[in-house]
Amino acid sequence: MKLDKNTKILIIGLGVIGGSYAKALTDKGYNVSCITKEDADIRYAKEHGMISYGTSEVEEELIAASELIIFALYPTTFIEWIEKYQHLFTPGTLITDVTGVKSQVVYKVQEILRGDVEYIPAHPMAGRERSGVEFADPGVFEGANYIVTPTEKNTRAAVRLCKQLGEVLGFLRISELTPEKHDEMIAFLSQLTHCIAVVLMNCNDSEGLEKYTGDSFRDLTRIAKINDRMWSELFLMNKEALLSEMDKFIEEFSEFRTYLANEDGKRMREKMRASSARRSLFDKPVK
């Protein structure tokens, strides 16, 4: 199959990411339908020019007619959906996803999926701290990273098409990783940061602190507003990698604490200079 403006694209799950995909694709002239649970979300998406057609039913004809199906569901819901409805796909359909953990999803889905349909996994590294289609905004893809995580079961044609989808959506950097490498990386860059934000937000309940806060605390806790169902699923599905990153963090934190307890300004300053230098690598590329 080819991805062009005639390709019949179906998005399943119209939350903040599914909605942002829908809007980005529709804005560029692509043909986007959707299936999602709530009729209100479909009305919202139509009113805001995000989709050409939407339904809250699992419509057999719509699914059969779709050439590219994008799953934007909670990880466990995605797997359940495949188990329950994959008989509705037309042979040759390509499916992809937006799931934030890979190993535990990708191998499972590829194992249960019928042989005449290909699943090419992807993870758009962008999001918002709010959930729901009304917070959809394709602007979050600008300057952001998009990762395709193929396995040996995938064809190069599917990898190429999935990367093309990332380009159409407006991502800046499009990369390829194994599911295992992806999960290791995401445990550090995304899951550990969400743990830290949640913990920081919960570790001091003094009243009135908001009157005195500066931007640093706000920045570190922006993501402490968190979709608890989704993130607990993501953490549990990537448990070993995340525990390992948490342990490395605790170790480094305890080392820094020792320097302070010993009034070892020299070593604290070395750590600060190292962090300053390394942080420069992570500056968002200027367009």
* Stretch 128-157 residues interacting with a second copy (CB under 8 A): 144-145, 147
**Under the criterion CB under 8 A, does residue 251 sit at the interface with a second copy?**
yes
Which one, 28 or 225, has the nearer CB to a second copy?
225
Write the binding mask 257 to 286 for a second copy: x where contact by CB under 8 A, - elsewhere.
x--xx-x-x--xx-xxxxxx-xxxxxxx--
Q: How many CA atoms lie within 13 A of 245 on its CB side?
A: 19
Which two tokens mark 108?
A: 């499972």
Single-letter residue type at 286: V
The torsion angles phi and psi of 34, rounded to 5 degrees, stand at -150, 155
Which one, 203 or 286, has the nearer CB to a second copy?
203
CB of 210 to a second copy, least distance (A): 5
CA dist., res. 97 & res. 99, Å (int): 6
CB of 125 to a second copy, least distance (A): 4
> ∠105-106-109 over CA atoms, to 5°?
80
Which one, 16 or 69, has the nearer CB to a second copy?
16
Which one, 10 or 126, has the nearer CB to a second copy?
126
CB of 272 to a second copy, least distance (A): 4
CB of 234 to a second copy, least distance (A): 11
165 and 122 in contact (C-beta within 8 Å)? yes
Which one, 1 or 246, has the nearer CB to a second copy?
246
Question: Which parts of 178-197 interact with a second copy (CB under 8 A)?
Answer: 185-186, 188-190, 192-197
Say which residue the tokens 């968002």 belong to: 284
CA distance between the termini of the chain: 32
Which one, 42 or 230, has the nearer CB to a second copy?
230
229 and 272 in contact (C-beta within 8 Å)? no
Question: Which parts of 204-243 interact with a second copy (CB under 8 A)?
Answer: 204-206, 209-226, 228-229, 231-233, 235-236, 239, 242-243
**Under the criterion CB under 8 A, does residue 159 sit at the interface with a second copy?**
no
Which one, 116 or 252, has the nearer CB to a second copy?
252
Give one DSSP letter per residue of 139-197, joined into a string. GGGBT-EEEE---TTS-HHHHHHHHHHHHHHTBSEEEE--HHHHHHHHIIIIIIHHHHH
CA dist., res. 98 & res. 70, Å (int): 8
DSSP code of residue 203: S
CB of 57 to a second copy, least distance (A): 30
Question: Which parts of 7-46 interact with a second copy (CB under 8 A)?
Answer: none
